[in-house]
């Protein structure tokens, strides 16, 4: 109950902030009111009900009391900032590899080619599941060694990120269990070895420079897109910018601000879960507009294992509602989506050694 009161007060505060600095050709936007799932709530039935409503409505919700301390979150953000404050020459030495690990420069990602003049005005850093080079598992597209900065350059950076990766994975697993119940599946459905037993879990640190987005000119912090996988956990530094569009086919599209809430994850469903649920649950279009303030966020993408066959769930099909998509392997689907949105790595010149 207390957390609910806290959430409302925080929501009102951040809503006021989020409405400042709007304009610049962005069109009118309203504030989205999202359900809040309290992971410490002993009433699981209530959590399932709130989550199911959110998944049917917008595919976005807040998660509070998730077990990751505020002090540790502050430390992860501080370490992320240290990385992005490095000179570009240092960051380019850590340029993302073919396994999507490492640094992604500004404009590297183009999420909405129809409406974007250039790529996203953000830089990022991908960290996946650490698998040693010689391990047979490292042959898989999204497994392998991470790209790490030298310890002398950023002391404690790797350890902080590895710890956060582990902790976020446990939060994602807990959310996946509630999603399973909301889909009328067994609570441990997604815990099966071929699903989240060896997940493709990717942490992406993000930094938006303090420019001004202007959709009328095709300038976005992050272009409109839906996420590729199962679920995404987003942590923000309190600076607004995230917007969602519940109906992508509406003309014109209506965009709603999602206010950041201190200590909460903003969680959204990905396209893979929409596909898995035969479009019962929604993967919603979202984007980031920046209003002159520098902004940091961290997205944690939780996907099933490489060899997981994503096919219509038994509880989401019937004679009147047959499967809408053919089965596809998780690794095939994700590889295709990443290649579609990222710049070919060959355009970057190798740094001089």
Q: What pLDDT sits at residue 350?
A: 58
pLDDT of the residue at 18? 36
Q: How far apart are CA 340 and CA 225, in angstroms?
A: 12
β partners of residue 37: 63
Residue 19 has pLDDT above 50, yes or no: no
The yes-or-no verdict on residue 17 having pLDDT over 60 is: no
pLDDT tens digits, 139-186: 988 899 999 999 999 999 999 999 999 999 999 999 999 999 999 999
Half-sphere exposure of 309 (CA within 13 A, CB side): 5
Nearest to 9 by CA among 245, 267, 264, 244: 264
pTM over 0.75: yes
- Whole-number mean pLDDT of the chain? 89
């Amino acid at each position: 109950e207390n957390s609910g009161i806290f959430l409302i007060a925080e929501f009102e505060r951040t809503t006021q902030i989020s409405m400042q600095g709007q304009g610049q050709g962005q069109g009118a936007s309203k504030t989205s009111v999202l359900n809040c799932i309290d992971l410490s709530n002993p009433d699981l039935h209530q959590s399932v009900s709130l989550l199911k409503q959110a998944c049917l409505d917008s595919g976005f919700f807040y998660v509070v009391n998730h077990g990751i301390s505020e002090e540790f979150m502050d430390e992860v953000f501080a370490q992320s900032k240290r990385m992005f404050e490095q000179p570009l020459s240092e960051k380019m030495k850590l340029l993302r590899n073919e396994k999507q690990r490492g640094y992604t420069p500004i404009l590297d990602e183009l999420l909405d080619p129809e409406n974007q003049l250039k790529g996203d005005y953000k830089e990022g850093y991908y960290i996946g599941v650490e698998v040693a080079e010689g391990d047979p598992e490292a042959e898989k597209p999204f497994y392998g060694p991470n790209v790490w900065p030298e310890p002398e350059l950023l002391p404690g950076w790797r350890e902080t990120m590895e710890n956060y990766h582990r902790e976020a994975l446990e939060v994602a697993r807990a959310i996946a269990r509630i999603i399973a119940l909301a889909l009328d599946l067994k609570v441990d459905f997604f815990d099966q070895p071929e699903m989240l037993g060896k997940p493709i879990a990717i942490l992406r640190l993000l930094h938006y420079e303090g420019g001004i987005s202007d959709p009328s000119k095709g300038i976005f912090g992050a272009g409109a897109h839906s996420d590729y996988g199962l679920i995404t956990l987003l942590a923000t530094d309190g600076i607004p910018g995230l917007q969602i569009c519940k109906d992508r086919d509406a003309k014109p599209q209506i965009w709603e601000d999602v206010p950041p809430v201190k200590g909460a994850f903003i969680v959204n469903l990905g396209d893979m879960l929409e596909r898995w649920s035969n479009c019962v649950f929604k993967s919603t279009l979202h984007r980031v507009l920046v209003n002159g303030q520098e902004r940091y966020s961290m997205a944690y993408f939780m996907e099933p294992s490489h060899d997981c066959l994503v096919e219509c769930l038994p509880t989401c099909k019937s004679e009147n509602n047959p499967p809408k998509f053919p089965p596809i392997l998780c690794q095939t689907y994700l590889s295709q989506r990443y290649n579609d949105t990222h710049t070919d790595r060959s355009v970057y010149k190798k740094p001089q050694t």
